[in-house]
Structure 1
Amino acid sequence: MKKIFLLIFVASFLVACEDDLDLAPISQVGSNGFFTNAGDFTQAVNGIYASLGVTGNMDYPSLYVILDESRSDNIYCPGQSGVRDWNATNNFLATIATLATVETAWNVAFNGIMRANTVLDQLQANGGAIGDATLATQFEAEAKFLRAFFYFDLVKWYGKVPLFETFVTPDEALQIPRAEVADVYNLIISDLDFAISNLPDVQTGANRGRASALAAKGILARVYLTRSGPQLHPDGPCLASNEYDKAALLLDDIIGSNQYAMLDDFGAIFDYDNEGNAEIVWDMQFIGGSVGAGGYYPTEYYDEGWARINLPFPGGNPGDGSKRISEDLINDYEAGDLRFDETFLVDYVDENGVTVDAQFFNKFMDVSKAGGDRFNWSLNYPVLRYTDVLLLRAECTLQGAPGSQTEVDAAVNAVRQRAGLGDVSNVTLDMLLDERRREFAGENLRWDDLVRTGKVVDVMNSFIASDDDDNKMQTVTSDFVIYPIPQKQLDVKLGLYQQNPGY
């Protein structure tokens, strides 16, 4: 029988990738002799988090860099030779079903889901072995939070995907077709509701980095906002469901908790010595110094030439494949915006004393904190920031949820004031999206913002007309709202899945 690449479930969970969490590897998960005590379940739950760590030559945030940021108008990377994955996603090629990153994203997310399902199945079968009903419920809530998180990404990337609520064998998976997007959302929402009801509002101390109720509310708010967007693609992530009021209530809960706050200094949010600051609602945890523990995603941004003279190890984007910040984004910043220098490196002096025109994201870089190699950056990856919560709440109001224009303007002006800019009034949705673009540049939110608000086709085609100097980008249609199903998935069992239109 052909191998089924869909279910790459590693029997030994990966080594630690969480700050403050003991993620020792475990073997023969689910076999006799495991899941017999609380420690076994702790390691298994930690193994779900480990799915966010380095796999091959990338980590989970690297997927966002290539599939989201490089696809948006924030980066222009057509590539001289065009052979790298981010060149293909940037150029909107229709022939990317065999692209390594498209395949890896599918495999890694479903691997995380299978790990979560294994824990959930074993909790049902052997949960009593934990000896603490409260702890067992916490494990269930964390597993469901992470399963929902992975499925939400899958829906945004591929649209319809197979729905697995328990661990299944490869033979069983061959009988399960792609589920409707609405059905996948039902599981996502159910899982996040359970997490909200059964996790503490925040996690502190040794549990920092684990799922929390407020983090679950933030992710669920994004789910409702995304479902509410205009349905550009019949199988895309937006269903025109008009649930902005539901998202607003969740975001109000986060704001009203008083657990988070905007920092006065924008750069301090990404300071290696200031992790877990008041701005961070939830982040992916990375520690440097050991194989499998650090992160790779900062390496995705910088140029190889810069690395040769600034870092003690090779890595970065080669000259023919640089992820260059688009001129459109550079020009979107107002004079005096304090975020600019914290976000970009626009040039550097090479080993010959020549100034090199670079233009890459510098937001997550600190040369003094470089690990032993390019896979061991120690900075946690911010998934949800408090500033994002505030601006998403303003978006809800502009989309018809309860709220006032005064509140929308106040949220945007708080962000602008920190950036050293003057106030604006009568903020529109386009103005809000522009502010989000500047605030979250390099944080891989721009593509989702454009899809969620239904502006992606018009914005990207306008960008291509103005910025595609190499004439390599294809005209964007609604087909490109999602990616193709990986070709290997189609080949496993002919007819089980149908390819997404346009690919």
Structure 2
Amino acid sequence: MKNLKNKFSLSVLSLILISFLSCSDKLDIKAGQVNTSDVDYSDTDQMIQPLIGAYNAFATRGWEEYLLMAVRGDDVNAGGDQVPLQDTDNYIYSPDNWMYNSLWNLHYADIVSVNNAASLIENYKELADPSDYDRADQYIAETKVLRAWLHFNLSRLWGSIFIINTAIPDNEIEAGVATKDEVMQYISDLMDEAMPYLPDMRPNERQDVPGGVTKYTALALKAMANQELKNYQGVADAAGAIIASGKFSLFPDFYEEFKKPGELSDENLLEMQYSDYNSGTGDTFYHLYAPFGPAKYTPARANAEGGWGFYEPSLKYIKFMLDRNETVRLETSVLFTNQGIAEIQSDPNYATLPSFISNTTRDGDVIEDNVRTLFSSGKHYLPSIQLTAGRNNYGAGKNNICIRYAEILLMYAEALTHGATGSAMTADQAVNAVRQRAGLLPISGVTTQDVLNEKFAELGLEWGIRYFDLIRLGDYNELSYDGRTFSADKAMLPYPQAQVDALPLEN
């Protein structure tokens, strides 16, 4: 453990009250505030409320968080006028970057909120009838999975971070930060601890909290943590258990997987849920998708709003997909402007493009030329015709998928190419299952590079997966593109200056 002098206490975050939410088919009823001193812990019918609050904290993400996690990959460019994001995309890091401090604070605040939810559930359990013990243990286990996901993001960005297991973490901060390997092992062990208490089903099979985490969400996070540790047998074991369960399958339509039809599909292992409750007025619980959207477009449905143009698929990614003869995955992942199409065609090797490449999506939205981006992310696009009548925000009500079964298949396949063993299926079978949905021919004798290429095509623009794969494998040359120069010392972000000032490192 690296020691940090404690001048700032996260205990103030314990004052953040868990949102008190009524149960519904969504996890996102408008939040009020609960005064924990007024809670009747003997009323175990209300024990689910802190859990719903934990899910609310998990899904309440600042727009900058996703962009910051993903923008350094060679699949994404920063667009628009956000200099802190553009500098980060070019591996120019400033500890004063407001986005760094925001993500750090928001993630840790939500870790404390999730831990506080677990404490409240413990209070219910103390007064509960023994028949409610299993339910309490399940709810607490669910908070551990949410906590693990938040720690996972922080450690991939900064490496050494605080591990926070309580709602008043003064002592945990005093103990200092754990190394990245320690954090990933903590996550793996925490998922082992949680799994026996979690439902043995897909998230979309749950009746109490539809879309809530299950045993398989925990297995997915265990696989992801072990992948960061390069414990490929651990990856194969955890991912293989998901595959062998037979419970998950790829959503048949790749395009619609990222839109309303794909919400809570059999492919999704972890998903942030948003809604306007199918009403054109009243309460909403949205993620702000405008940063992903085109700065100018003509929607098929009148009055639908455009975006800000902060997140752009890279030309490198588009040409990679064209070289592979990708169709539905390229159409799904990239929204094209006419300027962007002309830019592609300015390269004689790409003078003739497939007919599906157009500035008009299959749902009739026209992506207009603008000064901010040549392309926009199709994976964060909701067709205007899928918006609820009366709702006009870009992407309004669209869910945000965090972990898909496709990623599990490809992690499993990669682990096998690194020498791990697994009986769930072969590496060829796992890769070809993903390729088949994409309309590509099967391949045989897959190598690690084959799997990485498949990951690039399948998971591009999602959560920085591409960047973190390249960092894990030390494939830095791929990150030196379009005038950028990457080196190993750029792998991690610097600690936010506000945190360094509060918690100075001691040599």
What is the TM-score with the length of structure 2 in the denominator? 0.81
User: In the alignment, does 2:386 pair up with 1:369?
Assistant: yes
Please say if 1:400 is aligned against 2:419. Answer: yes
- Report the equivalent of 2:469: 449
Question: Is the CA contact (8 Å cut-off) linking 2:184 and 2:226 kept in structure 1?
Answer: no
Question: CA deviation digits over 1:287-307, x for unaligned, max 9?
Answer: 13555512223x232121127
**Which residue is 2:342 aligned to?**
none
TM-score by length of 1: 0.81
How much has 1:78 moved relative to structure 2?
6.4
Q: CA deviation at 1:35?
A: 4.0
Aligned-partner Cα distance in 2 for 1:380–1:68: 18
Alignment match, 1:304:
295
Match of 1:231 in 2: none
Distance 1:362 1:498, change over 3 A: farther
Q: How many residues align?
A: 459
Residue in 1 aligned with 2:376?
A: 360
Work out which of the residue numbers 104, 110, 113 in structure 1 matches 2:111. Answer: 113
Ranges in structure 2 where 5+ consecutive residues have no aligned partner: 1-5, 338-358
What residue number does 2:209 align with? 207
Q: C-alpha separation between the residues in 1 aligned to 2:395 and 2:497?
A: 31
Structural mapping, 1:247-396, within 5 Å: 247-288=235-276, 293-297=285-289, 299-306=290-297, 312=303, 314-318=305-309, 322-333=310-321, 334-335=324-325, 337-347=327-337, 348=359, 358-363=374-379, 364-370=381-387, 372-374=391-393, 377-396=396-415
Please identify, of 28-37 and 108-117, the stretch whose mean Cα deviation from structure 2 is larger.
28-37
Gaps of 5+ in 1: 229-242
Deviation at 1:354, TM superposition (A): 7.3
Residues 272 and 125 of structure 1: CA distance in aligned 2, closer, same or farther (over 3 Å): closer
Alpha-carbon distance, 1:125 to partner: 4.9
| Residue pairs, 1:47-86, within 5 angstroms | 47-54=53-60, 58-59=62-63, 63-64=65-66, 66-77=67-78, 83-86=82-85
Inter-partner Cα distance in structure 1 for 2:393 and 2:197? 38
**Equivalent residue of 1:423, what SS?**
coil
Conserved 8 A contact 1:163-1:184: yes
Q: Distance in 1 between matches of 2:244 and 2:366?
A: 55
Q: 1:138 offset after TM fit, Å?
A: 0.9
Q: Deviations over 1:356-415 (max 9, x none)?
A: 6831111232212335353772222222211111111101101110159x9222322222
In the superposition, relative to structure 1, how do residues 102 and 9 fare at CA in structure 2: closer, same or farther (>3 Å)?
farther
Comparing 85-94 with 6-15, greater Cα deviation is found at 6-15
Three-state SS of the structure 1 residue aligned to 2:296 is helix
In structure 2, what residue type is equivalent to 1:218?
Answer: A
SS for the counterpart of 2:320 is coil
Q: 1:101 aligns with which of 81, 99, 106?
A: 99
How far off is 1:216 after superposition?
A: 0.5
The Cα shift of 1:264 comes to 3.0
- Are the equivalent residues in 1 in contact too, given 2:70–2:461 (CA < 8 A)? yes
Q: 1:166 to 1:4 in 2, by over 3 A?
A: closer
Taking only aligned residues, the RMSD between alpha carbons, in angstroms, comes to 3.3
The residue matched to 1:402 in structure 2 has which SS?
coil
SS in 2 for 1:184: helix
- Alpha-carbon separation, structure 1, partners of 2:298 and 2:60: 20
Residues 275 and 498 of structure 1: is their aligned pair in 2 closer, same or farther, counting only changes over 3 Å?
Answer: farther
Determine helix, strand or coil for the equivalent of 1:68: helix
In 2, Cα distance between equivalents of 1:153 and 1:256: 27
Q: Aligned equivalents of 1:338 and 1:353: distance in 2?
A: 18
Within-5 A mapping of 1:480-491: 480-491=490-501
Question: 1:300–1:335: structure 2 CA closer, same or farther, 3 Å change rule?
Answer: same
Equivalent-residue separation in structure 2 for 1:343 and 1:15 (angstroms): 37
1:221 maps onto 2:212 in alignment? no
Where does residue 11 of structure 1 map in the other structure?
16
After TM superposition, give the deviation of residue 76 of structure 1 in Å: 2.4
